[in-house]
Structure 1
């Protein structure tokens, strides 16, 4: 039993490649589970209504607002947070593009932006700035004006497309 006499529920999930098992209150939000139970403070909590996107993480391959998802709903899921995207001494290509193109300032929205962009890069063509801005429309940033973020994503789209084309050329040669 928890302090509030609410029976705890067992939950397990794979978070950033590691299996995590805990007993949690059924009403515990995934964002709070990640931050308080696992110490993964890269997932930021902004509006707590799913509007700002700061808490966005990847669950089973889809970006979700962790402030709107209960931890028990993530039971058995694969969860990826900004902590698995790179390290200070080894940024991911997306993080490097954000750095190079000034896609962050205060950094509060950045983890959610990175999760949203990583998801979108794997799913959508993102052939125009309009498409990139549409993907980003669910994430709020008060500092950057978004242009640096759009530039960073555009660079990653070009790199993704070049890698895809190179792989296609290699497959045609064999």
Structure 2
């Protein structure tokens, strides 16, 4: 009996996650969420605390690099959604013993939030494609619907921000690069 229940529970959990992702995508596309001042370093510390158990379970060094302290006008839950998707992907694909760093920076016009990992990265031709809804890399292992990065991109755009992926400058890995205009 127990052997029959486990696959059912797993299927229910996958359906719950897909439903949650579809709702998040619809919310991001609809916009109209309340805007307030967001303390980016405080949000980053909360996210690090939330994901530290997952990182420790995989033996991943999860860190925060505050190059700049900045506040922006944004929808806090939408911004959290963008960054959660970046962190979840980085932790999912970074191998045991790897590193994931959330880096906060700013220039004259924007807050810049990078999530940098030393995982396998992506082929150059896939950086844009993986941002499409329901797209998964050919031969991708593990579970997933291919919605997380599409949701993050929609949520970023809804706030006037931009999201792009690119290769880590040194070694293997990926940079999840989010830029949000700020009020000076």
TM-score in terms of structure 2 length:
0.25
Q: TM-score, normalised by structure 1?
A: 0.26
Larger Rg: 1
